[in-house]
Amino acid sequence: MRRFELDAAILFSDILTIPDAMGLGLYFEAGEGPKFERPITCKADVDKIGLPDPEGELQYVMNAVRQIRKDLQGQVPLIGFSGSPWTLATYMVEGGSSKAFTKIKKMMYAEPQTLHLLLDKLADSVIEYLNAQIKAGAQAVMVFDTWGGVLTPRDYNEFSLRYMHKIVDGLIRENEGRRVPVTLFTKNGGMWLEQIAATGCDGVGLDWTIDIAEAKRRIGDKVALQGNMDPSMLYAQPERIRQEVATILEGFGDGGTGHVFNLGHGIHLDVPPENAEVFVNAVHELSKPYHK
């Protein structure tokens, strides 16, 4: 926030805080990412886990929210976040990151009720976790469904969207006299925009694989859109970055229920900071004609 002229701050936290607090033994292995010592393999494993207390096992997150909100001094809003139940479950069942998702898909097709039990617990936990963030000072929240795009349309509705809908229904929607917006993001979720918008969320995050003009035509009268520049574009030359920003702004155009310009997923670690600055400045400069 001190270096870039951003319009909001987001709580920076690992996506796996909830599974870690459930006692699965989170650890990190060099070159392989997060892993769990005790992955979920059967119904008995699901029965053992409880809902972590946001002001107990996860109090360190709430303390961070309170401190960040204090440090921001009201200059910009603070966004809280959580992984979606499906995305959290993929790590918990696979035991870490995966490319094929064979273990969780085996559970999904061979023991669907076991997976539903896990997803239901995770949805309840995410509701408590995000509501605690809101009470601690978060002024908007996001749910990231990073791995929803690996599902078939039918399975996405049953095993992912269903539980994000439950979360939206269970969230605090007004705090400190203001509405608390909730945004849902599914990577590779362009085919399900209408279903996502129908959950009652305030915004839908877009990755870079869908044209924002098409997204606006489909759901722009119902929800705000967030996105959606390819994060890898930040490796380009400054003028190319500016061109892409202009293209996305033109694609969304005027009207609709709002556009939050953002990357279509997380920023890469090795992006030159000066390129990120070009991006932020270009958004501010080139979006002015659309502010009416």
- Which residue segments constitute the domains of the chain, with CATH numbers given? 9-205 (3.20.20.210), 227-292 (no CATH)
Q: pLDDT for 18-44, tens place per residue?
A: 999 999 999 998 877 899 999 999 999
Whether residue 188 is preceded by a cis peptide bond, meaning omega within 30 degrees of 0, is no
- Using alpha carbons, select from 135, 188, 217, 127 the residue that is nearest to residue 163: 127
- What pLDDT sits at residue 109? 98
* Cβ–Cβ under 8 Å, residues 58 and 132: yes
Sign of the C-alpha dihedral computed for residues 139, 82, 224 and 268 taken in this order? positive
Residue 1 pLDDT class (50, 70, 90 cuts) = low
Q: pLDDT for 101-123, tens place per residue?
A: 999 999 999 999 999 999 999 99
Q: pLDDT for 164-213, tens place per residue?
A: 999 999 999 999 999 999 999 999 999 999 999 999 999 999 999 999 99
Distance from chain centroid for Cα 45: 26
Give dist(CA 52, CA 23) in Å, integer. 9
How far is CA 144 from each of CA 38, 39, 149, 278, rounded to the nearest angstrom?
24, 21, 12, 26
The two tokens of residue 281 are: 């400045």
* Cβ–Cβ under 8 Å, residues 131 and 182: no
**pTM, whole model, 2 decimals?**
0.95
Q: What is the DSSP letter of 203?
A: E
How far is CA 58 from each of CA 14, 16, 128, rounded to the nearest angstrom?
12, 11, 11
Q: What is the DSSP letter of 88?
A: H
The long-range contacts involving 231-234, CB below 8 angstroms and separated by at least 24 positions, are 231/263, 231/264, 231/265, 231/266, 231/267, 231/268, 231/271, 232/268, 234/263, 234/267, 234/268, 234/271, 234/272, 234/275, 234/276, 234/279
Residue 3 pLDDT class (50, 70, 90 cuts) = confident
How many helices, marked H, and strands, marked E, lie in the chain? 12, 11
